[in-house]
Copies of this chain bind each other. A is one copy, B any other.
Amino acid sequence: MALTEFELVDRFLRRHDSGRNDVILGIGDDAALLRPRAGHELAVATDTLVVDVHFPAHTSPADLGHRALAVNLSDLAAMGAEPAWATLALTIPEAQADWVRGFAVGLFALASRHRVELIGGDTTRGPLTVTVTVHGWVAENKALRRSGAHPGDRVYVSGTLGDAALALSILKEAGEMPAAHATFLRERFFRPQPRVDLGRFLCGRASSAIDLSDGLAADLTHIIEASGVGAEIDPETLPLSPAMRSLADPNRARTLALTGGDDYELCFTIAESAAHELAGWEREDECPLTRIGRIVAKPGLRLIDATGAELKLPTTGYRHF
């Protein structure tokens, strides 16, 4: 059943059950009206997903709805911000009610978990493309930036690395996931969990942070370039999932962990003297933190094994062009 834009928005996208009291006027006027939070800075991030570029055409609408918001919340997580509002620009080839309903289910399930309200957007006809802009709040001068890493800081990552890239390569090559790891790998690729709580915990503790969308080597390079420092990573310490250990040989696992995009874990640096505070996090949450290296004065990213030998870095990072 084909619907008009107004019907689509009315039926599936207009919801006011986020419990927020800072949305003065939501979907339905020329613009949303929102109440700022005193003593805070507004964090704003935008990410676009294009069919066949950022996700396979067979991705379910619910997975896509989740993913479109998740990759944006991951950016807020990397700033240490508390999510508040999102806008959605949804371009779809045709307005199928079932498709939009499914998309909304995935989107709002994640939105509810983080108390995000969809406050506006645009629905248009065209090749499947989703752009979400998210807004969040972070206490004045407390945001996690890429530029705060100092020599001597420790480098950490959350969760495990390379799983999304492993899942994608299996989907492309075999078309089907091995049963023992199918659920885990599908979740890791189609349902990334933005580390929002971790980001907020790291506010005022970590010296810099970034989310892992382009792969650890590329994203950590952003940190060290913005901070004017270098980093040494011990490849043996890169956290790998049981699925990765089972399905990829050690070399491939290392390459995927260093260069695989779409993990949406956080990579952060923290002063040696503050690192003990991380113990508080690990006791409270299932998302493990792993120390993988250290910040040094000498520019550049290097892989240094336990013997002190330098290893070659695999070619890094996802490039959109």
Q: Which residues of A contact B (CB under 8 A)?
A: 2-5, 8, 24-25, 28-38, 40-48, 50-54, 75-76, 78-79, 81, 85, 87-89, 91, 94-95, 119-127, 129, 131, 133-136, 138, 143, 145-147, 209-211, 226, 319-321
Measured CA separation A321–B5 after assembly (Å): 7
- Chain B residues in 8 Å Cβ range of A226: 28-29
B36 touching A36, Cβ below 8 Å: yes
Q: What is the total number of copies of this protein in its complex?
A: 2
Complex contact B78–A5 (CB within 8 A): no
7 additional A-B pairs beyond A35-B42, A50-B91, beta carbons within 8 Å, are A28-B146, A30-B146, A33-B43, A36-B38, A46-B89, A47-B122, A129-B129
20 A–B contacts, CB within 8 A, in A order = A5-B320, A29-B147, A30-B146, A31-B44, A31-B45, A31-B75, A31-B79, A33-B42, A34-B43, A35-B42, A36-B37, A36-B38, A36-B40, A42-B42, A45-B120, A46-B133, A50-B125, A53-B126, A89-B131, A133-B133
Q: A79-B29, A124-B48 are in contact. Are A133 and B87 (CB under 8 A)?
A: yes
* A118 smallest CB distance to B (angstroms): 11
Given contacts A36-B40, A46-B133, A87-B133, contact A321 B95 (CB under 8 A): yes
CB atoms of B78 and A145 under 8 A apart? no
* Cβ contacts under 8 Å, A145 to chain B: 25, 29
Inside 8 A of A34's CB, which chain B residues have their CB?
A: 41-44
Give the 8 A-B CB pairs with smallest separation, nearest first.
A36-B36, A50-B126, A30-B78, A31-B45, A89-B131, A31-B43, A95-B321, A30-B75
Interchain CA distance A52-B126 in the complex, whole Å: 9
